[in-house]
Amino acid sequence: MGKGIEDRTLVGKPSTTTAAAAPAQPASARAWFMLTLSVLAQSASAMLVNGVAFLIPSWRHELSFTLVQAGFLVAMPVAGTMCALIIWGAMTARFGERFSLTAGLAGTAAGALGAALSSNVILMGALLFVAGAFAASTNSAGGRVVVGWFPPHRRGLAMGIRQMAQPLGVGIASLLLPAVAGVWAVSGALAALAVAAALMAMMCGIWVKNPPRKGSSHPLAAANPYRGSWFLWRIHGVSALLVVPQFTVWTFALVWLLTDQSLAPAAAGAIVAVAQIAGALGRIGVGAISDRVGSRLRPLRFVAVAACISMLALALSDWLTSPLSIALLIVASVITVADNGLAFTTVAEVAGPFWSGRALGTQNTAQFLVAAAVPPAIGACITLLGFPATFAIVGLFPALAVPLIPHASAEVVAKSRL
């Protein structure tokens, strides 16, 4: 993948002054500080949106919720995020990144606090939906902060670092929430999420600075990357299919370790935390590999195949009660999150600077739509069929994704249209 293609994708035609000068510009200390705040904000958001899955055992034992009811609660913040992504994208464009991050995280804190004060499954689910809708602000505003402050030749690394925020937040939640729930019940764990979001709202309100805004007049603004090509739609479909194993592992790993493997809560939480941290580092590593080989799609194809194999291996080892099961769960946890950065970068590069916001909104909405359906559907599947059969079924989804991944030659053609 040539340097010129990378520059055109991010800042327009390489003949412009901005594009020519950008590679010589170092990332400022302020840019790295904005990246740090973006990672922390996204992590706080992920602790709520994706981390409440670690409260499933507490909901079942403390409040006597069924696995399907607990899955419903886990799905609610994901559904809220999905419904609000496009709205927050528009609000960020209108009012700026600082406003969106501050207001969004403040609303997340309020929703989580309300859920902490409720014991009714419907009301708690509604409040978690609201909290998730506000948490969606970090997806658009946090990404725009990074893209706005970093020069083009550093955005790949910066976005790779930012992509580790989600598994990092999930890893923190896996350690924090079961421990807090064990001492202060479910309400205490949800209150802890509210405190984390409130602290980040204050930090973003004080320190986040909106990046410099450039004019939007450009001949490429009217170029629709969806017109005459199925490339982006195929990437959206691939990402949606790969969400199934990712959210299955995220949602039910702790339950599986506690019930199927009979581990102590502290040990189970530590294993999940290690897996999530390894997954966060894996995203950066896979992104670096894609830079090295000059393609996002070749590593993406490898990740999809590996996700299928890892889930089927986990199913077989669990069915055989093999001692390798826990190790395979960690492997699956790392592999199933590795595709996000690759697909995210591919969409941004192919969509170009004037369509990337809309394309990424479509990408995220499709992923969250599937993610919202995974907890209740997989919870019901586990209830009816057990963990081994469910893991095997989930392993089929990345297998379906493999033929949808365009070939590397199509990637070059898609970028050349910019």
Domain boundaries, the chain: 3-10+30-213+222-416
CB 272 within 8 A of CB 257: yes
Q: What is the pLDDT of residue 18?
A: 37
Per-residue pLDDT at 11: 36
CA atoms within 13 A on the CB side of 243: 23
Neighbours of 270 (CB within 10 A): 15
Could you give the count of Cα atoms lying within 13 Å of 205 in the half-sphere of its Cβ? Answer: 11
| Residue among 152, 162, 173 at smallest CA distance from 53 | 173
Q: For the chain, what is the largest distance between any 2 Cα atoms, rounded to a whole number of angstroms? A: 64
Task: Please state, in angstroms and rounded to a whole number, the distance separating the CA atoms of residues 175 and 158.
Answer: 26
pLDDT at 364: 82
Predicted TM-score (pTM) of the model is 0.72
The CATH code that applies to domain 3-10+30-213+222-416 is 1.20.1250.20
**What's the length of the chain?**
418
Q: What does the pLDDT read at residue 269?
A: 81
Q: According to the model, what pLDDT value does residue 5 have?
A: 36
Per-residue pLDDT of the chain (418 residues; tens, 9 = 90+): 433 333 333 333 333 333 333 344 566 888 889 999 999 999 999 999 989 988 998 998 888 898 889 989 998 998 899 888 878 877 876 788 899 999 999 999 999 999 999 989 999 999 999 999 999 999 877 766 766 777 655 666 777 788 788 878 888 898 899 999 999 999 999 999 999 999 999 999 999 998 776 544 444 444 678 887 889 999 999 999 999 999 899 889 888 998 888 888 888 888 888 887 888 788 888 877 887 787 888 999 999 999 999 999 999 999 998 889 999 999 999 999 888 878 877 877 777 656 766 777 788 888 878 887 888 899 999 999 999 999 999 999 999 999 999 986 665 555 555 5
SS3 for the chain is CCHHHHHHHHHCCCCCHHHHHHHHCCCCHHHHHHHHHHHHHHHHHHHHHCHHHHHHHHHHHHCCCCHHHHHHHHHHHHHHHHHHHHHHHHHHHHHCHHHHHHHHHHHHHHHHHHHHCCCCHHHHHHHHHHHHHHHCHHHHHHHHHHHHHCCHHHHHHHHHHHHCHHHHHHHHHHHHHHHHHHHHHHHHHHHHHHHHHHHHHHHHHHHCCCCCCCCCCCHHHHCCCCCCCCHHHHHHHHHHHHHHHHHHHHHHHHHHHHHHCCCCHHHHHHHHHHHHHHHHHHHHHHHHHHHHHCCCHHHHHHHHHHHHHHHHHHHHHHHCCCCCHHHHHHHHHHHCCCHHHHHHHHHHHHHCCCCHHHHHHHHHHHHHHHHHHHHHHHHHHHHHHCHHHHHHHHCHHHHHHHHHCCCHHHHHHHHHCC
For residue 275, give the nearest of 333, 320, 221, 223 by alpha carbon.
333
Q: Are 273 and 167 in contact (CB under 8 A)?
A: no
The per-residue pLDDT for 21 is 39
CA 300/CA 402 separation, integer angstroms: 9
Q: Which two tokens stand for residue 305?
A: 């195949």
